[in-house]
């Protein structure tokens, strides 16, 4: 299947959902979630660290992992894939970006108000009273191999501060999930980019679009469980495939 077929779908679309996962940030130098872990965490499975149980058992290990990731993300810049998505948004005003990523690279590329299904690295909160905590100053300055880091204490109740992300077994933010499902049910094209499609309920989003009759374009170098519901599977890196796809779009003024 070709970029040409995908471009034909994009040219006809008026309500587009772009659904992204870690792969869209891979070419910005941010490891995907299911990449092998390095440094201090080489012995751990990321899925085991992204749980409330892991944080309760060893807050310094998990907090240190997130600060290390915040440092990497803080040094990263949006790539041509993020930029192409912002161009789709500019050219087709009915576009909604839904991301599972906890970085802010869509915003930095110019996307307006992407929906963050799994939270953000920049919104820490108390692990007990849930009040927002003051984000650490600066972009992060963790060593390349990372380190254990005792989380700060909540200024209200003294409990450890935790990252403002959604861990396994936790509910997704209701407003974000509802807005994403509504956009998927109402769109006339969904583009899924750089996600393994194995984590629920996020992985339902492209499936909702397909069930409501919208074509689905997938951009991923590897096959995923979403392949079967996709109208077009473009096997390649987002930073190469998406810029080729947006070449087909007329200028914003022409639409």
Return the active site residues. 118
Cα–Cα distance between 70 and 141 in angstroms, integer? 9
Cα–Cα distance between 232 and 228 in angstroms, integer? 10
129 labelled binding-site residue: yes
198 is a site residue for ligand BJW (CB under 6 A): yes
Q: Which is nearer to ligand BJW, 55 or 95 (CB)?
A: 55
Phi, psi (rounded to 5 degrees) for 98: -120, 120
Please report, for residues 27, 93, 185, 238, the alpha-carbon distance to residue 83 in angstroms, rounded to integers and kept in the order given.
12, 16, 25, 10
Q: Could you say which of 18, 22, 115, 176 contacts ligand BJW (CB under 6 A)?
A: 22
112 is a site residue for Zn ion (CB under 5 A): no
Q: Interaction with ligand BJW in 67-96: which residues (CB under 6 A)? A: none
4 labelled binding-site residue: no
29 labelled binding-site residue: no
230 labelled binding-site residue: no
33 is a site residue for ligand BJW (CB under 6 A): yes
Q: Could you say which of 64, 124, 164, 194 contacts ligand BJW (CB under 6 A)?
A: 194
Q: Interaction with ligand BJW in 39-68: which residues (CB under 6 A)? A: 50
Binding mask 101-140 toward ligand BJW (x if CB under 6 A, else -) reads -x---------------x----------------------
Cα–Cα distance between 228 and 99 in angstroms, integer? 21
**Which option in ligand BJW, Zn ion, none does residue 192 bind, with CB closer than 5 to 8 A by kind?**
none
Find where tokens 């861990």 sit: 167
Q: Which is nearer to ligand BJW, 32 or 231 (CB)?
A: 32
Q: Of the listed pieces 83-91, 144-152, 167-175, 179-187, which binds ligand BJW according to CB under 6 A?
A: 167-175
Q: What are the structure tokens assigned to 189, written together?
A: 């094209």
> Minimal CA–CA distance to 205: which of 125, 97, 111, 106?
97
CB contact at 8 A, 165 and 188: no
Least Å from the CB of residue 60 to Zn ion: 18
Neighbours of 149 (CB within 10 A): 18
Annotated binding site: 66, 69, 100-103, 126, 129, 154, 157, 194-196, 220-222, 238
Q: Which residues bind ligand BJW (CB under 6 A)?
A: 21-23, 26-27, 32-34, 50, 100, 102, 118, 165-171, 194-196, 198-201, 219-222, 224, 237-238
Using CB under 5 A, list all residues that contact Zn ion.
Answer: 126, 128-129, 154, 156-157, 159
């Amino acid at each position: 299947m070709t970029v040409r077929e995908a471009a034909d779908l994009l040219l006809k679309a008026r309500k587009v959902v772009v659904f992204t996962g870690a792969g869209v940030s891979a070419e910005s130098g941010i490891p995907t979630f299911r990449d092998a872990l390095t440094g201090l965490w080489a012995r751990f499975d990321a899925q085991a660290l992204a749980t409330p149980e892991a944080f309760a058992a060893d807050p310094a290990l998990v907090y240190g992992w997130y600060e290390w990731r915040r440092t990497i993300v803080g040094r990263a810049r949006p790539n041509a894939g993020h930029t192409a998505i912002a161009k789709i948004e500019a050219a087709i005003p009915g576009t909604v970006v839904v991301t599972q990523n906890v970085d802010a690279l869509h915003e930095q590329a110019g996307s307006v108000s992407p929906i963050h299904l799994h939270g953000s690295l920049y919104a820490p909160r108390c692990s007990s009273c849930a009040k927002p905590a003051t984000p650490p100053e600066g972009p992060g300055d963790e060593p390349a191999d990372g380190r254990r880091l005792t989380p700060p204490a909540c200024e209200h109740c003294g409990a450890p501060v935790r990252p403002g992300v959604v861990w396994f077994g936790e509910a997704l933010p209701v407003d974000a999930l509802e807005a994403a499902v509504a956009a998927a049910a109402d769109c006339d094209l969904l583009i899924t980019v750089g996600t393994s499609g194995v984590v629920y309920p996020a992985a339902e989003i492209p499936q909702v679009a397909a069930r409501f009759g919208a074509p689905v374009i997938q951009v991923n170098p590897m096959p995923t469980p979403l392949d079967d519901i996709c109208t077009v599977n473009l096997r390649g890196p987002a930073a190469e495939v998406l810029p080729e796809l947006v070449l087909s779009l007329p200028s914003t003024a022409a639409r």
